[in-house]
Amino acid sequence: MGKISQKEIEEYLGFKGEDFDFLVETAGKVRDKEVGNKVYLRGIVEITNKCIKNCYYCGIRKGNIGISRYFLEEKDAIDCVRFAVSQNLTSIVLQGGELKDKDFVFYVEKLVKRIKEINPSIAITLSFGEQDFETYKRWYDAGAERYLLRIETSDKKLYEKWHPESHSFEQRMKCLEMIKKVGYQTGTGVLIGAPMQTISHLASDIVFFKEFDIDMLGMGPYVIHPQTPFGKIYGDWFEKNRKNIFDLAIKMIAAARIVLKDVNIASTTALDSLNPEGRVYGLKAGANVIMPDITPMAYKRNYLLYKDKAGLYSSSAESLFSVLEIVKKSGLVASLGEVGTSPHFLKKRKNRF
């Protein structure tokens, strides 16, 4: 399969019926050929729901006064890691709202070092938004190998419609460049099916992923949160479009797999908010990563980026069991004990030497 144009990607994203099924089947075959039939597990720890950003769609936005804010103590975070190690999970994602103060930067740096002391072979992904180059470098030098910074949309005008004026599209792009320059396996992603977004926007996003040469992709469907500006405006619109948004998310995963071939692609939890079998469909459509939430139950209930999040009242063990069942239903193989480095990243590194 040669180079695919944006117009062809737009056609993929418009598929329905048998064409939709064929797209999913094709993406699954590409996944099996390029990265195998294994699904890599990442134990996700949601460090904090505190955030300095005010994105119009996000439930943990700074302006939402209707949620209880928390910050995970280092001991609690380490307990999560010890649970992961006991279950042969060798890949951890540390995630949270965007904070930039010195105490936070030091906290993450220290936590990464502690995790590596527990087990040097654990692969650590960070997702804490926009930082400066020095911070990204400090965290990388401490032992973090991967960083996920979702662009949300590669279209500047659309980005500005989704964010306050204080949020800069150019700065977002600059941060992605810095992450790559530091040496991280670089991950990004977009919202799918959000207000004012078109098929053309989404096709352009996939072209952007290809041109930016990403290693990891974590994108999910738009799911409304009532305590946000978008939640107050688009409630009825969202309910009418739930199925279309879900189908579009599955097509985006499939199209991204066909175009990007050997990157790691996540089947994200948000899919389950729109369809009980959402993550199963995501895996069948070409995804090869899934993330059990191993955040302590008392905290994860307040990490609500969107409504109807799956697994809020599940223990870490229950979350892991649920994810293993999802992989089983998809017909793929859960890979425990493997860090699951992006094959795309490994090829790039090999070609440099």
Task: Average the pLDDT over each of 53-67, 101-115, 284-298, 302-316 and give the range with the smallest value.
Answer: 302-316
**pTM for the complete prediction?**
0.97
Q: What is the pLDDT of residues 121-176, one digit of tens each?
A: 999 999 999 999 999 999 999 999 999 999 999 999 999 999 999 999 999 999 99
* pLDDT given for residue 23 in this prediction: 98
Please, what are the domains in the chain? 6-347 (3.20.20.70)
Q: Where are the beta strands (DSSP E) in the chain?
A: 38-41, 43-48, 91-96, 123-127, 146-148, 185-188, 191-192, 216-217, 220-221, 264-265, 289-290, 333-335
What would the pLDDT profile of 23-43 be if each residue is shown by its tens digit?
999 999 999 999 999 999 999
- Looking at residue 338, its pLDDT comes to 94
| Percent of the chain predicted with pLDDT > 90 | 95
**CB contact at 8 A, 175 and 131:** yes
pLDDT tens digits, 86-136: 999 999 999 999 999 999 999 999 999 999 999 999 999 999 999 999 999
Strands 146-148 and 185-188: parallel
**Where residue 2 falls among pLDDT bands split at 50, 70, 90?**
low
